Amino acid sequence: AQTVTQSQPEMSVQEAETVTLSCTYDTSESDYYLFWYKQPPSRQMILVIRQEAYKQQNATENRFSVNFQKAAKSFSLKISDSQLGDAAMYFCAYLYNNNDMRFGAGTRLTVKP
Amino acid sequence: DAGVIQSPRHEVTEMGQEVTLRCKPISGHNSLFWYRQTMMRGLELLIYFNNNVPIDDSGMPEDRFSAKMPNASFSTLKIQPSEPRDSAVYFCASSQRKQGYTFGSGTRLTVV
């Protein structure tokens, strides 16, 4: 069974600094998709970044980038130049087919001014 | 596009009452998902539909929960009778192929 593990329940970063959130997953598949979602206090689930497993190049979206290590089954999220608005719960997710996205337990990110 | 629309945003009901949560997916998305989020269990998939057809409802807690999707633009999740342990945030999400899920704003349900 596919599982997603986020080993950091909480993380903290100083405003304007860089922080990395960890995620590992377990799968026997070779073609799948990985996502990071952000859930601010408003509780809206917002897609931050998406990575196809068949692509070696790490995905980047403005200040957000990933370090995708397929062999190690690792998918970390790097947030550069952290802003107060980045404070939220961050969920890593794995999708093999279109029918069952698995989520990690989440990492609560605090941004200190 | 207005995104995935859920209603109501908040619902407070008494134990034993029927609760109906509503969802309008994004037009053109052929898959719809209902999730429940609690502190203890995180995000749990309850049921999903492909092309309006329920595919897997193994996540539905018990017979008190039911979901329907009468057409491509509307789905409901019903709890009858409701119990305090059903209190949670319920999310609806839709997707097209493997682009990732787009979530609604969720319904916070409180059963007293």
Tell me which of B38-42, B66-70, B74-78, B94-98 is least confident.
Answer: B94-98
Q: Is the pLDDT of residue A56 over 70?
A: yes
Query: Can you tell me the mean pLDDT for A7-34?
Result: 95
- The pLDDT score that the predictor gives to residue A34 is 94
Average pLDDT, chain B: 93
Cβ B91 vs Cβ B3: under 8 Å: no
With cut-offs at 50, 70 and 90, classify the pLDDT of residue A100.
confident
Cβ B26 vs Cβ B94: under 8 Å: yes
Query: Can you tell me the mean pLDDT for B58-74?
Result: 93
- The pLDDT score that the predictor gives to residue A1 is 57
Name the residue facing B100 among A50, A97, A99 (closest C-beta).
A50
Q: Is the pLDDT of residue A98 over 70?
A: no
End-to-end CA distance of chain B: 36
- The pLDDT score that the predictor gives to residue B48 is 92
Q: Is the pLDDT of residue B1 over 70?
A: no
Q: List residues of chain A with CB under 8 Å from any CB of chain B.
A: 33, 35, 37, 42-47, 50, 91, 95, 97-101, 103, 105-106
Does B56 sit within 8 Å of A99, measured CB to CB? yes
Average pLDDT, chain A: 93
Nearest residue to A21 via CA among A63, A102, A57, A75: A75
Nearest chain A CA: its distance from B105 CA (Å): 5
